[in-house]
Chain A
Amino acid sequence: MSEAPLLEVRDLSLSVKTDAGPARILDHVDFDIRPGEIFGIVGESGCGKSTLAKTVLGLPPRNSVIDSGRVMFRGENLFELSRRQTARRLRGGTMGFIPQDPFQSFNPTFTIGKQMLEILRWSGLPEDPEGRPFGRADRKRHRDRLIEVLSAVQIPDPAEALDRYPHQFSGGQRQRILIAGALAARPGLILADEPTTALDVTTQMQILKLLRDLAAEYDVAMMFVTHDFGVVAQICDRVSVMYAGQTVETGTAADIIDNPRHPYTEKLIGCHPERSGNLVGIPGKVSSPIDPPMGCRFHPRCALAERRCSEVRPPLEGPAGGRRIACHVRGAAS
């Protein structure tokens, strides 16, 4: 608990300019990730979780404005770094990234090795702050590192794999290679944007187990974006539930799954057939970020909504770093 957080996201709000006016995609998002932990960001599609991941990487969407808050990584405010510094020092280097779709994320016309070498090349290793010159010695050293991480993700014959093209690998193998890419530059934090969604269930299990093992082995923290509480149960230590750009509940994964308190969390867990025994949806859809409902953004879909829910926005309450919830009815204050 006393350990300094690796990543602190404080009161982060972000809007995207649209033709219909500004859309608040992230609204006062607040969480910490500690070294070595796997932190889940859970929510339906359209709740802002991918935008959150990209913003942490220093790639907010086009035409977006940070309205408030900050993102601190190892005590440095990312918004105060120049673009170049962000690119060099954070992406690839100290933060690794695993994308959602292993089929579309590789460039089909270049070999795996060439694409992975770029990650190391631009990761801003200390002896090479400008990213150049990028000599033969670096290439050899980087190649060795790639072979190392490819073996770590159990790609058979990694040296040969570097010279092959993406389409020569299966989806599961490609996802492993992407994981290797995220590990290559020895990051402190890996951002995983729904890394198993595009895979079939058995492959999904293998990849989750691999991620869990690697996180422990390399002592790397992970921000794991997902919509699936089944995945959360398997891999996450702590979790933050997001709805329409707001954090509605946060706490340890086990605690939230066993005892969800926010009505949205409850519904989201209920959507999982293995848990509830039948298929239930949540009526309605995520509210529009352009014209969000007053008060609690979930109230139009909430069975427990009271009058104050449509008038006052419930604050995220609870002990810092412990179980926190933003709900008038179920919250700490009630």
Chain B
Amino acid sequence: MILFVIRRLILIVPTLLGLLVLTFMMLRMGAGDPAAAIAGDNATPEQIARIREDLGLNDPLVIQFWDYLSHAARGDFGVSAYTNRAVGADIALRLPATLELTFFALLIAAVFGIAFGTLAGVWRNSVFDHVTRVVSVAGLATASFWFAIMLQLIFSMDLQVLPLRGRLPTGMPPPPFITGSYVIDALFTGRFETAWEALRHIILPAFTISLGGLATVARFTRSSVISSMQSEFASYERAVGYPERRVVLPYVLRNSLVTPVTQIGLLFGAFVSSAVAVEAIFDWPGLGSYLVNAIFTSDFQAVLAVTLVIGLVYGIVNIVVDLVHGLLDPRVAERM
């Protein structure tokens, strides 16, 4: 088990390297000149040329890449052209907000997706099943920015039950940093009012992000529950006297979770990219808005570092997913 984790962690390195090469090439070959962006609108060509020279942009690509890599390996991701601060510091400031948001979205997608999918599978072709199916398809087809605005209109403007934007009400100090999640940190330090406010703030953006994933998880869970319900083992369990609810919980359910759990791991990537738009709408101070700014201002250092960090978290999330597989299925655990 431990060996498995170590092996998988080592495998992340070449993956990230590949990701970095691709992003690096795309940025250097694509439009936008970081030197011009740094120099500003009124710069003379000579100034821009000097900045290019300073940044090493005239060196061959391979040298530039090596330069970047050797700095990055030491934790130095360069300076943002936009914020003028170290990219590493910028990310450290904003990453926790994005992680909190995407993990809450994953949690919502997992809990509700699995619950709805299981019920839809058990009550196959019932009204509940049909309603879930229609809502799932609608959920998959809905644009998240539109959905976000609708949620704001209904819950924040009309009903005024949930806050419109931000992570906490203005003036409320954030809890001491432990995990980076306001909700969890506030709970740990006994600031229940802060925890409650943080939770209220995260509901709408997290739900927006989770919507498409929730629908996917529900669909996958439903079909694997249906096939497990018709399996030989379920029919044996009924024949030797298990009550039906016992057949479903836990026996059918545990067997049906493998596919949706894989799905949840893959969703993390999709959630991060949908966080980009959703963070902007809900004014969530995360990496999404930072990344958008970085792209628009040709802030290459920032783009590269954010890509790298998201890739790393994605890799770790998928190791966790594989470990959960092992917990669910002893045959998988044996091969770890």
Interface residues of A (CB under 8 A from B): 54, 57, 59, 87-88, 90-93, 96-97, 99, 101, 104-110, 115, 118-119, 122-124, 131, 165, 167, 178, 181-182
Contact = CB atoms under 8 A, between A and B. Distances in A.
B240 A101 contact: no
15 contacts: A90-B241, A91-B238, A91-B240, A92-B241, A99-B236, A101-B232, A104-B232, A105-B236, A115-B251, A118-B240, A119-B242, A122-B241, A122-B242, A131-B243, A167-B331
Nearest to B328: A109
B239 A97 contact: yes
B128 interface: no
A300 to B, nearest CB: 32
Contact of B241 (A104, A106, A123, A167): A123
Contacts of B250: 110
A87 B240 CA distance: 8
Contacts of B233: 104-108
Contact of A91 (B241, B254, B328, B331): B241
B246 A118 contact: yes
- Interface residue SS majority, chain B: helix
Interface in B223-258: 231-233, 235-243, 246, 250-251, 254-255
A165 B240 CA distance: 19
Contacts of B283: none
Contacts, number: 74
B330 interface: yes
Given A87-B241, A104-B231, A105-B236, 5 more contacts: A91-B240, A106-B236, A109-B254, A109-B255, A178-B236
Contacts of B193: none
Nearest to B244: A87
Contact of A92 (B232, B240, B254, B329): B240
A131 B246 CA distance: 12
B104 to A, nearest CB: 28
A93 B242 CA distance: 11
Contacts of A93: 241
A105 B251 CA distance: 12
Contacts of A59: 238-239
Contacts of B328: 109
A99 B251 contact: no
